[in-house]
Amino acid sequence: MSRVAYVNGRFVRKAEAVVHIEDRGYQFADAVYEVWALFDGKLGDPDGHFARLERSLAELQITMPMSRQALTVVLKETVRRNHIREGLAYLQISRGVATRDHAFPPKGTPPAVVITVSRVDRDAAESRARKGVAVITTPENRWGRCDIKTVGLLPNALAKQKAREVGAVEAWFVDDLGLVTEGTSSNAWIVDGDGNLRTRDTNANILRGVTRLSLLDVARKAGFNVEERPFTSDEALSAREAFITGAGTLVLPVVLIDGKTVGSGQPGPVAARLRALYIEHAKATAV
């Protein structure tokens, strides 16, 4: 159990950690977040997550509450105080606390910062990756700025719940053209019939996954042909392999889509290799 949270400059017992009822994150989802995978107590893919955090904040005109260096210190101290080696670090930054008004609060209102950490059972995660997981598809119904990592995740939460109810771990959003955009908390990939790795391009309305970006590079260096090109759910079903990426899942094979098998119905060699390569990369670059 994690026991300590960081809230606005203080480390507090998680059970007693509170935010103000007029926090704009609470009232308007006016907040951004980041999630780092933790490897041996270190933050995986640090630069990618900090770069995206700064971009999300800039897009919403929320000030970065402290430097990357200071934030790294606070994140790592939260991890240390919780004695967690393998897990996830969660950071949320809202526009701050102000009397409820849709328009921005007065200049100088400080952003509110919360950090929590949680443990991940890597053995259980590896055994899940060896079996593969099921996903469902669901119509895309999110706003037009999914590139900003905001806490406005109600469509994602509803779609994830729909997946859970049928024993799937993820739901893939499918847009009006029938193309898969991404999962509720992961990016979607296939290995097509020609052996090409394919994932949606970032001109589409998706989150620019940090795992996705690193894996594009890792896969190219390993000699794979990688294309940022959309696919339909039927193409995913007739693909050799499918998988998802994210800080929570790393690289996780998908063996069922809407109850129908992908490829052989077993996790394939490409996803297994990419999972190993990504974990190696994340451990090597963790801080």
Q: Which residues are annotated as catalytic?
A: 149
Give the range of 56-64, 79-87, 94-102, 180-188 binding ligand PDD by CB under 6 A: 180-188
CB nearer ligand PDD, residue 26 or residue 104:
26
Q: Is residue 241 a contact partner of residue 263, using CB atoms and an 8 Å limit? A: yes
Q: Any contact of residue 267 with ligand PDD (CB under 6 A)?
A: no
96 binds ligand PDD (CB under 6 A): no
284: exposed, middle or buried (Cβ count in 10 Å: 0-12, 13-18, 19+): exposed
Q: Does 138 bind ligand PDD (CB under 6 A)?
A: no
The smaller minimum CB distance to ligand PDD, of residues 82 and 214, is found at: 214
Amino acid at 136: I
187 counts as binding ligand PDD under rule CB under 6 A = yes
Separation CA 79–CA 84 (nearest Å): 6
Nearest CA among 191, 200, 100, 93 for reference residue 146:
200
Helix (H, G, I), strand (E, B) or coil at 211: helix
Residue closer to ligand PDD (CB basis): 246 or 267? 246
Token pair 């630069």 in the structure block, residue: 47
267-270, Cβ contacts within 8 angstroms, sequence gap of 24 or more: 267/129, 267/130, 267/131, 267/132, 267/241, 268/191, 268/240, 268/241, 270/191, 270/195, 270/197, 270/224, 270/240, 270/241
Give the phi and the psi of residue 4 in degrees, each rounded to 5. Answer: -125, 135
Residues between 68 and 87 that touch ligand PDD (CB under 6 A): none
Interacting residue with ligand PDD among 44, 46, 132, 209 (CB under 6 A): 209
Binding track over 139-178 against ligand PDD, x by CB under 6 A: ----------------------------------------
Residue 165 CB, nearest approach to ligand PDD (Å): 19
Instruction: List all residues 6 or more positions away from 216 whose beta carbon is below 8 Å from its beta carbon.
Output: 199, 226, 228
Closest approach, Cβ 86 to ligand PDD, in A, equals 15
Instruction: Name the nearest CA neighbour of 183 among 147, 226, 140.
Output: 140
- Decide if residue 116 touches ligand PDD (CB under 6 A): no
* 42 binds ligand PDD, rule: CB under 6 A: no
Using rule CB under 6 A, residue 241 touches ligand PDD: no
Beta carbon of residue 148, minimum distance to ligand PDD (angstroms, whole number): 11
Residues forming contacts to ligand PDD in the complex (CB under 6 A) are 35, 182, 185-187, 207, 209-212, 245-248
